[in-house]
A and B are shown apart, each in its own frame.
Chain A
Amino acid sequence: QVQLQESGPGQVKPSGTLSLTCAVSGGSISSNYWWSWVRQPPGKGLEWIGEIYHSGSTNYTPSLKSRVTISLDKSKNQFSLKLNSVTAADTAAYFCARGSVYSSKGVYYYGMDVWGQGTTATVSS
């Protein structure tokens, strides 16, 4: 079955760039799924960051849109997150996830059904 695995540096300096990668195994990143990033600050709830489709189409949360880029690397079967100008508020566990489309009674719905284990990124000098 499909598995996702995040990787990246655990610590980033303030004003720097956070770069994370999500490796997809057991399936192709070119399949009809959305590939997403979600984060969770320590002790807090989940925040959806954005997603990319296999075609390259992206959606981002407005509060981060000016600082975030999600991209695909089909040759390596992985996708990536870059977050610029980071501050302490960006310290969080970052999860990658697969967004699937489900059909129910002729209507299409979306849910994130496969998740990576998460990786912690700390913004600190």
Chain B
Amino acid sequence: DIQMTQSPSSLSASVGDRVTITCRASQSISSYLNWYQQKSGKAPKLLIYAASSLQSGVPSRFSGSGSGTDFTLTISSLLPEDFATYYCQQSYSTPYTFGQGTKLEIK
């Protein structure tokens, strides 16, 4: 299985801040990387696929980059509704493994 490692595990930030979350794959996955947002008690929501393509309806303050083994999710200016847990997932090969998650909290 491909292991996905996110950092940091948790992050405190303020409304208006720019934040970056990192995801590293245990082997090259090209651009087969998704990002999801999960709010407490809710289902995950697909934000980004193919490492940098914004899912329809997702605000442009979210962006993704990277290829190979190293990827980032950036939120350019945090809004109150962005405080949630974020997961990366590789779709290079099954099983489609997730990172352990990054919890974004209000400072």
Contacts and interface: CB of A to CB of B under 8 A. Distances in A.
Interface of A: 38, 45-48, 50-51, 59-62, 95, 97, 102, 104, 107, 109-113, 115-118
Interface string B81-92: 000000101010
A113 B98 contact: no
A95 B89 CA distance: 15
Contacts of B49: 102, 104, 109-111
A50 B1 CA distance: 13
Contact of A95 (B43, B91, B97, B101): B43
Contact of B89 (A48, A62, A118): A48
Nearest to A117: B43
Contacts of A102: 49-50, 53
A61 B36 CA distance: 20
A62 B34 CA distance: 21
- Which of the listed residues B34, B44, B95 has the most CB atoms from chain A within 10 Å of its own CB? B95
Contacts, number: 74
A110 to B, nearest CB: 4
- Please list the 6 inter-chain residue pairs (A to B) with the smallest Cβ-Cβ separation, ordered nearest first: A115-B43, A111-B49, A61-B95, A110-B91, A109-B50, A59-B94
Contacts of A48: 89, 94-98
Interface of B: 1, 31-32, 34, 36, 38, 42-46, 49-50, 53, 55, 87, 89, 91, 94-101
Nearest to A108: B50
A80 to B, nearest CB: 18
A113 B43 contact: no
9 contacts: A46-B38, A46-B87, A48-B95, A104-B50, A109-B31, A109-B32, A109-B50, A112-B46, A113-B46
Given A46-B101, A48-B89, A104-B50, A116 B95 contact: no
